[in-house]
Chains A and B, each alone.
Chain A
């Protein structure tokens, strides 16, 4: 069993829908990252959070440390949101060695 699990693996939705991508982890962490990888390949860091909730535009990331679970939400989804979304956990005691989720491939249809 992977230490960081993402669900779903693939998600197809219509433009405008509310999107939720989940990330569960089994180790104690000091931070969790959400990143976006576009079809062109570039990787962009969306959020780094260790508690609570962060919001940037239409993106919201939440984390529940007790339940070892984080979610990434996209409101009013748009075709340009189509990408692979990756969560990565920074375990307690580690300065840099992230544990990577497998990614969620999101397709938003117009």
Chain B
């Protein structure tokens, strides 16, 4: 397996534009996490899916953020409209079960100008 795959690796966009980040978890993993990493706040959990169902989205900053997992092999994180304070590295991670080792994607570095 190629591991967790995220795209794009880098995204530069203008304030107000819609941004969509994509994640393909490891096949067979039933838990998927979206994290945001900034210098100020470190790693923050945005949303957790289990068996494609959003279990906890309390970390999603505001209504501008939304995440979907239409099937076991694909998830998206969308920001609309984007703002400069959204600039961060966004990681997707998947686990076989909730209490097993997490595998992270390479991250998407988002810059909103």
Contacts and interface: CB of A to CB of B under 8 A. Distances in A.
Interface of A: 30-31, 33, 35, 40-45, 48, 86, 88, 90, 95-98, 100, 102-103
Interface of B: 31, 33, 42-43, 45, 48, 55-56, 89, 91, 93, 98-104, 106-107, 109
Contacts of A30: 99
Nearest to A44: B104
Given A96-B31, A102-B42, A45 B103 contact: yes
Given A90-B99, A96-B31, A100-B42, A41 B56 contact: no
Contacts of B102: 33, 35, 45
Given A96-B33, A96-B98, A42 B43 contact: no
Contacts of A40: 106
A97 B56 contact: yes
Given A33-B102, A48-B100, A41 B89 contact: yes
A contact patch SS: strand
Contacts of B104: 35, 42-45
Contact of B99 (A95, A97, A100): A95
B107 A100 contact: no
A75 B106 CA distance: 27
A62 B8 CA distance: 37
Given A41-B109, A44-B104, A96-B56, 9 more contacts: A31-B99, A43-B91, A45-B101, A45-B102, A45-B103, A90-B99, A95-B98, A96-B31, A96-B98
B101 A48 contact: yes
A42 B100 contact: no
A5 to B, nearest CB: 13
B42 A103 contact: yes
Contacts of A31: 99
Contact of A42 (B42, B48, B98, B107): B107
29 contacts: A31-B99, A33-B102, A35-B102, A40-B106, A41-B89, A41-B106, A41-B109, A42-B106, A43-B104, A43-B107, A44-B104, A45-B101, A45-B103, A45-B104, A48-B101, A86-B43, A90-B99, A95-B98, A95-B99, A96-B31, A96-B55, A96-B98, A97-B45, A97-B48, A97-B56, A98-B45, A100-B42, A102-B42, A103-B42
